[in-house]
Amino acid sequence: MLSVNGVKRFPKIELHCHLDGSVMHSAVKRIMKGEGDLDQMADKMKVPKKVSDLRTYLACFDYTLPFLQSRENLEIAAYELIREAADENTIYIEVRFAPQFHCREGLSQSEACRAVLKGLELGERDFGVKSRAILCMMRGASEENNLKTVECAKELLHCGAAGLDLAGDEKSYPPGLYKNIFDKAGNLGIPFTVHAGECGSAQNVKTAIEMGACRIGHGVAIAGNPEIKQMCIKNNIVLEMCPVSNLQTKAVDSIRNYPFVEMACENVPVTINTDNRMVSDTCLTKEWELLGGSFQEIDERIMEEAGRTAVEAVFLPSVQKRKLAEEYERKVNLFKKLEQSV
């Protein structure tokens, strides 16, 4: 395994990072304009040490969302997230958020989207990290609001938005309930990922794949299901795995039982992601360090292959994807040369 500094400097691709769960300390400082106890506020945005399940974990967002109800604050949050990603040599990140969650004080979904996209664009300009947005539809939300999110994705596709997602309480709202909406997204040519297999149901992953999902958020529940793992291999369905978050939500009971290495060795397409950088108090470097401390198989080679898998799964047009692949290989090769010279 690489040193902590080596892991931090290794080129990274991230597919699964929620904006409202990644309101970084620097963003809190700017949003609050230096007023209040910033450390205390940042701590309130982090998950408690004891969490019983995903629903309890999701309650943390009740504190962060009130800060994200203006164009300015959304732009700041997106920009500062890109700053954070750049600090650990992320070269491309897909940032997801639910536009309907940012309409409490008068913004439309479209206006919320454009504010986030502006922040991402400015972040790319200043820090060199390429980014795209994934718009989340929400379990339990009205069909009207979710369809508005689909319309925003259609409007902004290839203008900063890259695809759709379905997030929220998976146990209460399995993906099959949203088939009609995903059918519409598919007919519009909008790629989508689905949060599934995070709450113990492998069947939800199968349903999401059958509905046309290109990727699966989390997917840990398929570890013991050869049929669905084979579906992922055959159809190149990439799992966006998030170890720290999955431990916190009790999707797995211990890091030693985390199925990333197992599935990677079986050729299931797997990637490593943060899910929520602030809420989970994590980053890609910490995710890899956690795995590396528990599995001797984790090394530079497996990190490189996970990054390559992520590149192939990004929601970008083919020409842009090819350029990203070339950049990734170039930066990985440069990293190797620098490591050898030390």
- Cross-strand pairs, 265: none
Which residue is listed with tokens 């990203």?
324
**Mean pLDDT throughout 132-138?**
99
SS (H, E, C) the chain: CCCHHHHHHCCEEEEEEECCCCCCHHHHHHHCCCCCCHHHHHHHCCCCCCCCCHHHHHCCHHHHHHHCCCHHHHHHHHHHHHHHHHHCCEEEEEEEECHHHHCCCCCCHHHHHHHHHHHHHHHHHHHCCEEEEEEEEECCCCHHHHHHHHHHHHHHECCCEEEEEEECCCCCCCHHHHHHHHHHHHHCCCCEEEEECCCCCHHHHHHHHHCCCCEEEECHHHHHCHHHHHHHHHHCCEEEECHHHHHHCCCCCCHHHCCHHHHHHCCCCEEECCECCCCCCCCHHHHHHHHHCCCCCCCHHHHHHHHHHHHHHCCCCHHHHHHHHHHHHHHHHHHHHHHHHC
Rounded Cα distance, 148 and 100, in Å: 8
Q: Which range among 24-38, 143-157, 164-178 shows the weakest confidence by mean pLDDT?
A: 24-38
pTM over 0.85: yes
Could you give the domains of the chain? Answer: 4-341 (3.20.20.140)
Rounded Cα distance, 115 and 110, in Å: 9
Rounded Cα distance, 69 and 112, in Å: 8
**Residues of the chain above pLDDT 70, percent:** 99
163-178 tens-digit pLDDT: 999 999 999 999 999 9
Catalytic residue among 75, 80, 124, 198: 198
- Is 198 tagged catalytic? yes
235-279 tens-digit pLDDT: 999 999 999 999 999 999 999 999 999 999 999 999 999 999 999
